Amino acid sequence: MSSEHKKHYIVQPGGKLQGELRVPGDKSISHRSIMLGSLAEGVTEVSGFLEGEDALATLAAFRAMGVQIDGPQNGKVTIHGVGMHGLKGSDKEIYLGNSGTSTRLLSGLLAGQNFATTLTGDKSLSGRPMRRVTDPLATMGAVIDSDEGKLPLTIKAGNKLTGITYTLPMASAQVKSCILLAGMYAKGKTTVTEPAPTRDHTERMLTGMGYAVEVNGDTVSIEGGGKLTATSIDVPADISSATFFMVGAAIAEGSDITLTHVGINPTRIGVINILKLMGADITLSNEGITGGEPVADIRVRYAPLKGIQIPEDQVPLAIDEFPALFVAAACAEGTTILTGAEELRVKESDRIQAMADGLQILGIDTEPTADGIIITGGIIGSGEVESHDDHRIAMSFAIAGLQAGGTIQINDCANVATSFPDFVGLATKAGLEIDEFDV
């Protein structure tokens, strides 16, 4: 796996981003297409599937549980659904690499099976909090062993689940989805209330596959005992991957880039809203709906940015985009203040600390706080920064090269392959001077 070999990036200073490109498929939707396609009755055809390590970990998990899955080939995957009760226990542990989404969603889905499963992951995943899913699942009747709330998780067989009414302690689509997936196997109704809107891909895909989900403001409910019907799923390009190019174009003079067929689900567009508040020139065209998800082409042209106080209601809508947004803040005039984002400390790395440390090395004044950061725009210099094996930290420092005064070396970038295979190729095509080397 990626964590066993090391890859560094070297980015040369300057340049601008130009042209039209399509970034890989949405990670969240790719995971869900495998999970729900496997449980459906009939054959689900997926196109635009993300062939990154995280989504492939989910695919391998379902193969290990007896589902025939053809592909992926050029983003096409064919899933021969086994129905709600057709999964088979795997005699081996299921290794989920770096993927929090695989782990948390699978925990819910596995809680309702009549076989036991052990889930493991890499070093980063093994350090991430899992009580946020094991606690509500235990209330539903699941029996799960963990290492003090961390991986490995062993989800025991055959426990009867009962629907619960649960208020999420944090805004998390992974926890919401976990409980809804368990709810499909529970007796009665399961209701989840979220403190703020989070990505609703699970709800949309369940609906698209004929499983009724009731949405009432901040509350989602599902009745146990239903079934899913196979469908075709066109996965849009991932707005989280498009973000690196959006920010790159927003900070580099002369840039004009169009990202095509990007998912613009309202629960994911915080990055567009925040960049616009900072003064970015962003226009949408070719808006449409594909497989129940809104899409558009996103054009970003360079315009000077200014620092802002980021509205807290945008935080869950841009949760994966903050490392890149911190680079935008570093290039903006004035100070940017982020609050209400303590979840960033428990992502693939502590993203507040990782970005604060790296930006500081590059000469930018940063002040990390418990739930956010204060960044004063300035001149990005050169230096060697750590990605902490976090794909989004690595790609964020890569695009900082566009405004850097000298070379930036970014260490431990192999995990970029979890969400964005061929980032280096696409970034080079767009105008970034970036090389990778194995160490």
Min separation Cβ 388 and ligand S3P, Å:
16
256 is catalytic: no
- Shorter beta-carbon distance to ligand S3P: residue 101 or 113: 101
Cis peptide leading into residue 152 (ω within 30°): yes
Pairing mode of beta strands 383-386, 165-167:
unpaired
* Cα 22 to Cα 426: distance, rounded to the nearest angstrom: 9
220-258 b/e (C-beta count within 10 Å ≥ 16 → b): bbbbbeeebebbebbbbbbbbbbbbbbbbbbbbeebebb
The secondary element (H helix, E strand) that includes residue 223 is strand 219-223
- Shorter beta-carbon distance to ligand S3P: residue 54 or 386: 54
Pairing mode of beta strands 186-187, 161-162:
parallel
Phi and psi at 196, nearest 5°, equal -155, 155
Interface residues toward ligand S3P, by CB under 6 A = 28, 101, 172-175, 177, 199, 319-320, 343
* Cα 322 to Cα 399: distance, rounded to the nearest angstrom: 13
- Shorter beta-carbon distance to ligand S3P: residue 237 or 432: 237
The residues, any chain, with a CB within 8 Å of residue 317's CB and separated by 6 or more, are: 197, 266, 267, 268, 269, 270, 273
Min separation Cβ 413 and ligand S3P, Å:
18
Min separation Cβ 34 and ligand S3P, Å:
12
Q: Which of 240, 160, 208, 161 is nearest to 32 (CA)?
A: 208
- Shorter beta-carbon distance to ligand S3P: residue 174 or 258: 174
Min separation Cβ 241 and ligand S3P, Å:
11
Identified catalytic residue from 122, 238, 320, 350: 320
- Shorter beta-carbon distance to ligand S3P: residue 28 or 107: 28
- Shorter beta-carbon distance to ligand S3P: residue 299 or 347: 347
In eight-state DSSP terms, residue 94 is E
> Which DSSP string do the residues of 66-80 spell out, in sequence order?
T-EEEEEETTEEEEE
Min separation Cβ 204 and ligand S3P, Å:
12
Min separation Cβ 189 and ligand S3P, Å:
22
What's CA 199's distance to the chain center, in Å?
10
Min separation Cβ 342 and ligand S3P, Å:
11
Q: Which of 346, 172, 309 is nearest to 354 (CA)?
A: 346
- Shorter beta-carbon distance to ligand S3P: residue 15 or 316: 316
Contact status, residue 140 vs residue 181, Cβ threshold 8 Å: no
Q: Which two tokens stand for residue 403?
A: 């405004």
Contact status, residue 382 vs residue 404, Cβ threshold 8 Å: yes
The catalytic residue positions are 320
